[in-house]
Every structure is written in C-alpha cells, then in structure tokens.
Amino acid sequence: MNYGRTFNFSAGPAMMPEPVLEEIRDELLNYRGSGMSVMEMSHRSKVFQQIADEAEADLRELMGIPDNYKVLFIQGGATLQFAAVAWNLMKNGKAVYIETGAWSKKAIAEAKKYGEVIVAASSKDRNFSYIPDCSDLDIPEDADYVYICENETIHGLTYQTLPNTKGHVLVSDQSSMFLSKPCKVTDYGMIYAGVQKNVGPAGMAVVIIREDLIREDLDPKMPVYMRYDIQAKNGSMYNTPNCWAIYCCGKVFKYLKSIGGLEEMARRNEEKAKILYDFLDSSEMFRGTVDKQFRSLMNVPFVTESAELDAEVVKATKAAGFDNLKGHKSVGGLRASIYNAMPKEGVEALVKFLKQFEAEYKK
C-alpha cells in the first residue's frame, strides 16, 4: 500500500520496517483481545510480561546471546549508559577508551566523572576519518575495561576488527549498528545500544552484559535506576519500563527473524551501502569523507568541493522528497543514514537523483 512515506535518511530516530508499523497499527486499539492498547497496559500484567519475555527471547536467538549474559531494557537512551558503564564497571577506577568520533568523545567526557580515563588511541588528528590501530594498545594491567564506539554515527566510520584488549573486558556502544550484521557476543563483556537508530522508537537502550561484570558493591550515591544489579534482579522492571519501546522492538526482532536473521540483514546492508559508495567513488562532484576500509555500512557522510554547493544539494534532495540528508555540523556536507529499515529502492533513488544533479551541474 502507498502511505505516501518518504525515504527518510535520518541518523535517528529513523525508519522502521513497514510491515512492523502495519502490525502495530492493527494492534493499536486492542492488543490481541486484551481490550486495551499496549500503551495502556500494566507492565505487571501477564499480557505485557509475555511481550517482554518474547522480545528478550527473540533477541537472544537473533544474536546468539549465551545464558551467562543478561539482557536489560533501560530507559534514558544510550547517553545514560555513558555514565552507567563507568559507574557500574569501574571497580579499580580506571578504564581505557578509544576516541574515534563524536560519540566516543561524549562517552569519554562522561566517564571522566567517575574515574581515570586513558585514551589509548585516537583518530582526532584527521577529524575522525579512520579507526586507529588497536592491535597493540598500552593497557594498564588494572584497567577495568576497554571501551569503543563500534560505529560512529556522525563521522561514519566503523571497526573492521575489534581491538586487542589483551584479556581485558571489551565494552561496545553499538547504537547505530545494532543488529545490522551478525555479532559474536562472547567477544564482549558488554554491548549496549540506543534503539532509535536501527530498531525502534526512541527512549530506550538495550544492554547485554556478562553476569560476572554485574557488581553489587557500588557507590551508595548511585541512582538506583542506573544499577545493573537492580535492573537484572528485577527483569528490567524495577520501575515502569518503556513498555511501548519494548513492544515495538520485539516486533522488529521477529521481523528480522522472519527475513532470515542477521546474516540476511548484513547481506542487504552491504548491498545497499555498495550502491552508494560505488557512486561516490565514481563521482567527480561528491566524495566520501572516511578512509575506505573503515567506512560505515549505516552512516555515509559525503561532501562536494564547497559548503555552498553542499547546501545546494541538501536543498535539492529535500525538494525531491528525500529527508534528513544534511550532514552533522562537525563534518559538514551530507550524510545518508541507511539503517536496516531503509529499503534498497531508497538508496537507488537517492543515487539516481545525485547522478542527475551532477550531470546537470556540469552542463
């Protein structure tokens, strides 16, 4: 059906799969004979408990999450986790961070409030256009963890190989790449993601954490909501959770299972990204801003020769019915976020438009 929906290239909140939105619409006023909307439902009800349990079970199946990892649904988005990670996991008060862009910078600034932060590698020297070599980092023996932002949403770069943590726990912010491809959970001590980039509506983070990292000997001043031990003990329902987001994300997990899981999702994402990157590499007007080997599959920043022309292109895309292609101010130019739910047709249409724009401009 044609709903008049636009190809929305927003970095987040972003597109959701249309079949999922249709199901949500159909269940909106009366969820499966319960007589009420999920928005109106007690989080302590059997019906909602089943929604939450299924969401967790489906996510575990999709990612192959082992039993010794907890899955938590926590409000406050990814930003709250910047502090929560440090406050919960800094037992020795020391952690190593890799600085690769805007979101790792924010995580570093927040972690510094709770302990010593050692920035062991950075790509700041070239405005975060590459991932620094992390094969032989200087990691103090007593560092509690090594932290990465695995896909930098604003600068558009991603890790090809994970850092060599030399036996230390790896913590990863996967917000803008969550469920975009298969993930070996056992490589990490903790993975977290704000869900509004690649999964569902804003206002929630998924936290996947190895049980032995969950501590109880925490700063007594720590807000109870931020404690992983309390969240884990209470099945993410110490207080009222973001029921709506859990419900919508659960639908997306089922949808991903139905299309063939994360392998198939990765295949589609690679196909989509290739269409756009191939165009950028062949264009004389546009160029990608990230070193090829570190290009993100999800966020594609690109520029022309001038800020004026960039602005002109953004304006033209908007007039042609494409939304949210303006680049972040720290990089400039344009950025196409092509998350899981962006159809291939959207990327093809954008490339066709940019090609035409370039051809006409040259005349």
Ligand X SMILES: *Cc1c(COP(=O)(O)O)cnc(C)c1O
**Which residues are catalytic, by number?**
103, 173, 197
* Position 16 contacts ligand X (CB under 6 A): no
Contact status, residue 193 vs residue 340, Cβ threshold 8 Å: no
Nearer to ligand X, 16 or 78 (CB): 78
* Position 153 contacts ligand X (CB under 6 A): yes
Q: Which of 156, 173, 189, 250 binds ligand X (CB under 6 A)?
A: 173
Q: Which of 132, 194, 241, 327 binds ligand X (CB under 6 A)?
A: 194
* Position 77 contacts ligand X (CB under 6 A): yes
Q: Where are the beta strands (DSSP E) in 7-68?
A: 7-8
Distance CA 335, CA 333 (A): 7
Helix/strand/coil percentages in the chain, nearest 5: 40, 15, 40
Q: Which of 149, 213, 300, 341 binds ligand X (CB under 6 A)?
A: 149
The residue nearest ligand X at its CB is 77
At closest approach, how far in Å is the CB of 335 from ligand X?
12
Q: What is the DSSP string of 70-114?
A: EEEEEESHHHHHHHHHHHHH-SSSEEEEEE-SHHHHHHHHHHTTT
Distance CA 68, CA 77 (A): 24
Number of residues near ligand X (by CB under 6 A): 12
Distance CA 131, CA 128 (A): 7
* Position 105 contacts ligand X (CB under 6 A): no
* Position 301 contacts ligand X (CB under 6 A): no
* Position 110 contacts ligand X (CB under 6 A): no
At closest approach, how far in Å is the CB of 77 from ligand X?
2
249-262 burial, b for 16+ CB within 10 Å, e for fewer? bbbbbbbbeeeebb
* Position 288 contacts ligand X (CB under 6 A): no
Candidates 33-41, 72-80, 92-100, 113-121: pick the segment binding ligand X (CB under 6 A). Answer: 72-80
Maximal CA-CA distance, the chain: 69
* Position 197 contacts ligand X (CB under 6 A): yes
Measured in whole angstroms, the distance separating CA 301 from the mean position of its chain's CA atoms is: 16
Candidates 23-31, 74-82, 109-117, 348-356: pick the segment binding ligand X (CB under 6 A). Answer: 74-82
Candidates 36-44, 83-91, 169-177, 262-270: pick the segment binding ligand X (CB under 6 A). Answer: 169-177
Q: What are the C-alpha distances in Å from 307 to residues 156, 302, 328, 329?
A: 19, 11, 12, 11
Q: Taking Cα atoms as reference points, which of 196, 203, 161, 165 lies closest to residue 178?
A: 196
* Position 176 contacts ligand X (CB under 6 A): yes
* Position 78 contacts ligand X (CB under 6 A): yes
- Name the residues that contact ligand X, by CB under 6 A: 12, 77-79, 103, 149, 153, 173, 175-176, 194, 197
